[in-house]
């Protein structure tokens, strides 16, 4: 996917957890970016897994 300057999109992410790993978790997602002003993007996903 390529986004032009000033454009946005929605990301859909799927996470799965092994059995017994319920509770709060933080995930770091680092999508690739070719913007020279922001070459690295970090998205933090906070979750609370309920069995």
The pLDDT of residue 38: 85
* Residues in the chain, overall count: 51
**For position 51, what pLDDT does the model report?**
76
Q: State the pLDDT at residue 10.
A: 92
Question: Would you say 40 and 30 are in contact if contact means Cβ atoms under 8 Å apart?
Answer: yes
pLDDT score recorded for residue 23: 94
CA distance 47 to 26: 6
The pairing of strands 23-29 and 43-49 is antiparallel
Write down the pLDDT at residue 5. 83
- pTM for the structure as a whole: 0.64
Walking along the chain (51 residues) 10 residues at a time, the average pLDDT comes out as 85 89 93 86 92 76
Give the pLDDT score at 17: 87
Tokens of 48: 């609370």
């Amino acid at each position: 996917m390529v986004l032009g300057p000033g454009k946005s999109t929605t990301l859909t992410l799927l996470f799965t957890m092994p059995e017994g790993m319920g509770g709060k978790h933080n995930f770091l997602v680092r999508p690739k970016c070719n913007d020279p002003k922001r070459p690295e993007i970090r998205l933090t996903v906070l979750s609370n897994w309920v069995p």
